Structure 1
Amino acid sequence: MTFKILADIVVFVHFLWILFLIFGAFFGRKNRRIKIFHISGLAFAFVMQLLDWYCPLTHLEVWLREKHNPALTYSGSFIIHYLEKLIYIELSPYLILILTILLCGFNTWIYLRKKD
């Protein structure tokens, strides 16, 4: 049961990480540490797409689910089931790379805009 709970927590953290990568520039404009962390995360996401790597959080979640029950295909948690559908959306690697480039460009624009 512990591995299942930990896997669900990893999915939730993964979802929050994705939200941070999308919207982090709005917070990073006001805080240098958040900005550095956000830009580093975007750079890592970009490198993962270029090298066709899987996210370490994905590996961790799969490992935890296998430890809980190797035959389990559905976690049984309603919220986690739908968060996973958002996180692991079925898109081609090329489209994910294009979306990552657009996300990096959008965040660069946010960071370079003059502060109000």
Structure 2
Amino acid sequence: MGYQVLGETAMLLHFAFLVYVTLGGFLAWRWPRALWPHAATALYALGITLIGWQCPLTHLENWGRERAGQAGLPDEGFIEHYLTGVIYPTEHLLTAQLLVALSVTLSWAGALLHLRRRHQRNCPENRA
């Protein structure tokens, strides 16, 4: 039972990771310091996507599921198993990746604009 819970928890953390990668940059609009942890997370996700780094959550989920007597994830990994062909059609994987990249880019651009406006409001030479 404990191994099954571990596998399920890793799966939920995977989904949370993907949501954070996709939308976490928007947190920096309110809390500017949130941009740095999101940048690190987004760069790690980019490494997983482009370089093929192994995600430790995949290993953890496989380990827990296999110990619970279940099948682990296929070699293609988490996204292929849970999202591709389920959330979006298989032929639109690149489109989904580009939409995530667009979301990250827009969130960072918005965060930088918010920071710039905040700096201009607080800058003494702009208070004349």
Task: Give me the TM-score of the superposition, normalised by structure 1.
Answer: 0.69
Comparing 31-40 with 92-101, greater Cα deviation is found at: 92-101
Percent identity of paired positions between Structure 1 and Structure 2 = 25
Letter of the 2:109 partner, please give it. Answer: W
Comparing 50-59 with 88-97, greater Cα deviation is found at: 88-97
- Contact 1:24–1:38 (CA<8 Å) still a contact in 2? yes
**2:67 is aligned with 1:67:** yes
Distance 1:43 1:85, change over 3 A: closer
- Contact 1:46–1:101 (CA<8 Å) still a contact in 2? no
- Residue correspondences, number: 105
Superposed CA RMSD in Å reads 3.1
- For structure 1, the residue ranges without an aligned partner over 5 or more in a row are 75-83
- Contact 1:10–1:60 (CA<8 Å) still a contact in 2? yes
Distance in 1 (CA, whole Å) between partners of 2:2 and 2:32 is: 37
Distance in 1 (CA, whole Å) between partners of 2:83 and 2:11 is: 13
Question: Which residue is 2:82 aligned to?
Answer: 88
Distance in 2 (CA, whole Å) between partners of 1:87 and 1:37 is: 27
Task: Give me the TM-score of the superposition, normalised by structure 2.
Answer: 0.63
- Contact 1:6–1:64 (CA<8 Å) still a contact in 2? yes
After TM superposition, the structure 1 = structure 2 runs for residues 1-12 of structure 1, keeping only pairs within 5 Å, are: 1-12=1-12
Question: Which residue is 1:37 aligned to?
Answer: 37
- Contact 1:3–1:65 (CA<8 Å) still a contact in 2? yes
Post-superposition offset of 1:109: 2.1
Distance in 2 (CA, whole Å) between partners of 1:68 and 1:32 is: 42
Q: Pick the structure with greater CA Rg.
A: 2
